[in-house]
Amino acid sequence: MGNRSIVLLALVLVALAALAVPGESQSPIKIGVIEPLSGPVAASGNYVRMGAEIARDWLNAKGGIGGRKVDLLIEDNKSDPKEAASAAEKLIVRDKVPAIMGAWGSSMTLAAMPKLEEYGVPMVVETSSAASITKRGNQWIFRISPPSEMEALGLEQYVDKLGVKRVDFLAVNTDWGRGSITAFGDMLKKKGAAVGVAEYMEQSATDMNAQLTKIKATGGDTLFLTTAVEQITLVMKQAQEQRLTRKVVTTGGSSSPTQLIKQAGAAAEGSYHIVFFMPWFPEAMPDGKLAKAFVDEWAKRGHPFEGLTEGFRGHDGIATIAEAIRVAGKDDPKAVREALWNVSLMGVNGPIKFEKDGPAGKESGQSKPSIFVVQIRDGKVALPDFLAKK
């Protein structure tokens, strides 16, 4: 066969291939991601990104979605609500993504939400816990993280065992922090606990001594603390300096107890933490095998262990969107939104399935996540006595 014949044959094969497989169907499926990759809560945002990348790689290793590769288009919201709104618009208008995962902080998510309605694109919310996110009547919102009310209900069963009688609050001054104080305050009052002061700190604040002095004066026995891990570390060290002897309970699942042991040392001893993933005890998770595989993959990539309590959210958010695209059979935003109502899958946190939340006819989706409590004891993460299997 001459060279000319080989070239002709090659051209014929290329033409046949083009007919058999429309280029469009093989183009990658794009999923938008909006996280704080810089700014005060950047550590958390980057851990979520790392988890999302594991989900993407696992999907692609299995052939993608319907034979199409998954691409993540990742935008930095810089820990700033305005940036979150413009990142959403960019992903929708410029990149034409059929769905977005985001945006870590409640204030960032709330700022992006009008863009989802304006353009008709669904967002899976992986971290934010302000109640207003699913109560506002935005039909493009599907949340896999627990709102503060759900988290408070998850803790309710342990309040007596924790011995909480008189409680004070210290929270970051954002939608998340304010919502957390309301939800946990209501639950604790219902349980008969006396609620003392509620103090706030700005997201970028580094000196919380004034707030801690007020808290110290109340004579309470428990401090509920709601903020990102960097600020929790500072509060714990400053509380130790002030000799504030309290049971400390962190909410929101963002405390990363391993990071606190490293950074706050003895100041973190005895503290309790609400978490949504227990990488120290993966076998105790709803799907022990999946949890263990995720922990192993994280380690293989050299990611810091302390990031796992945030990283799993990125995995579960992307897995949820991918499943919706698979159910829809296409990467069209409206079809993906409809399909999200029919998603039922096992995430690292546990089962993911959406129920309606918010005003009738304009409901958002809310999944019911698994909630756990761990304690820092003898410089290690442990199951509290009341949870440890005897």
Model confidence, pTM: 0.88
C-alpha–C-alpha distance, residues 366 and 213, integer Å:
38
CA distances from residue 271 to 184, 255, 373 in whole angstroms, order as listed: 17, 11, 10
Burial code of 113-147, b = ≥16 C-beta within 10 A, e = fewer? Answer: bebbeeeebbbbbbbbbbbbbbbbebbbbbbbbbb
**The predicted structure's pLDDT at residue 10:** 52
C-alpha–C-alpha distance, residues 243 and 83, integer Å:
39
C-alpha–C-alpha distance, residues 275 and 260, integer Å:
13
Domain annotation for the chain: domains and CATH numbers: 28-145+286-366 (3.40.50.2300), 150-275 (3.40.50.2300)
Q: What is the DSSP string of 320-371?
A: HHHHHHHHHTS--HHHHHHHHTT-EEE-SSSEEE-EEESSTTSPEEE-----
All residue ranges of the chain with pLDDT < 70 are 1-25, 388-390
